[in-house]
Amino acid sequence: MSHHVLMTFPTHKWKEYGQYCLPSFDKNWPEHVQGSVYLEGEQKVPYEYSDRVEIIDFDQRLGDKIKSFEERNKNRDIFDLGTTGAIGKQAAKFARKVYAQLDALRSPKGRYVWYVDADLQTCETVPDDLLDNLTSGNHYIGCLPRKWKPMYTETGFILWDTHHPAHQEWCDLYQSCYDDDKIFEFNAWHDCIAFDYATDTLLSSGKISIADFGYGVKSSHPLVTGPLGRYFDHMKGKRKFVGHSKERRK
């Protein structure tokens, strides 16, 4: 089965973001897995990446969509692009992540598309057996739901099966949150809300199922405290300035 890994970050945030995801992907994912980086800003990074990594000019590919979203909503308080901030209002920042995901999902380079946040580090070699296990079954999405309490999904590590019959419908719902500004109908304006809107809509109608990559762990940081913490560390929030998650299960 073919796999493709998606990452995105701005060049000037290499130290906060890119230094974690890109080199560790190149080092630890199987050699047959391709990777794409949607790079915003100057098209170079301080790292000599392998031939399996494609750098995509974010501004050239998706700049018009971002400009349109921002122009329509210029009178809203959405323009905090900071590394740490009030994520409930950082709609412009998270629109970048969503449009990069949708670009990769609409024209997938592999059946299985993986998204990893730029502050997510692959800490150990990812064996093919693990990828086979995580993609086994009939689920459309693999993700980190936190349904044990009223909380949105952690969206730093996601899998989609682009061969699933509901794939385009899910993408349409997700995209409507930004093309149609539906995101502002919710009480927070970040991508996790949009992700849950699309996913829960199709779950409730029985069109999709999901795999819980946190394996039911009751944590606000389920990737690193669950079994997959052996392989990954997601340094979300201020953890990236420390260089690790203290909660990580090794």
Residues of the chain with pLDDT below 50 are none
Spatial neighbors of 18 by CB under 8 A, at least 6 apart, are 7, 9, 11, 37, 45, 47, 118
Determine whether domain 3-242 maps to CATH 1.10.10: no
Residue 83: per-residue pLDDT: 72
Q: Which of 241, 240, 245, 228 shows the shortest CA–CA distance to 28?
A: 228
Secondary structure (3-state) at 146: coil
Is residue 8 within 8 A of residue 114, CB to CB? The reply is no
Tell me how many helices (H) and strands (E) the chain has. 8, 9
Residue 147: per-residue pLDDT: 80
Distance from first CA to last CA of the chain, Å, rounded? 28
Residue 106: per-residue pLDDT: 98
Is residue 144 within 8 A of residue 229, CB to CB? The reply is no
For residue 16, the cross-strand partners are none
Residue 105's identity, in one-letter code, is L
Residue 245: per-residue pLDDT: 63
For residue 116, the cross-strand partners are 157
What sign does the dihedral 242-244-246-247 (CA atoms) show? positive
Residue 41: per-residue pLDDT: 97
Residue 239: per-residue pLDDT: 63
Residue 242: per-residue pLDDT: 57
Q: Phi and psi (nearest 5°) for 64?
A: -65, -40
- CA distance to 148, 152, 210, per residue, from 143 (Å): 14, 11, 7
Residue 197: per-residue pLDDT: 98
Residue 131: per-residue pLDDT: 98
Q: In the chain, where are the structural domains located?
A: 3-242
Residue 249: per-residue pLDDT: 67
Residue 176: per-residue pLDDT: 99
What sign does the dihedral 91-7-234-229 (CA atoms) show? positive
CA gyration radius for the chain? 17
As a dihedral over the C-alpha atoms of residue 56, residue 58, residue 60, residue 64, rounded to 10 degrees, the angle is 150
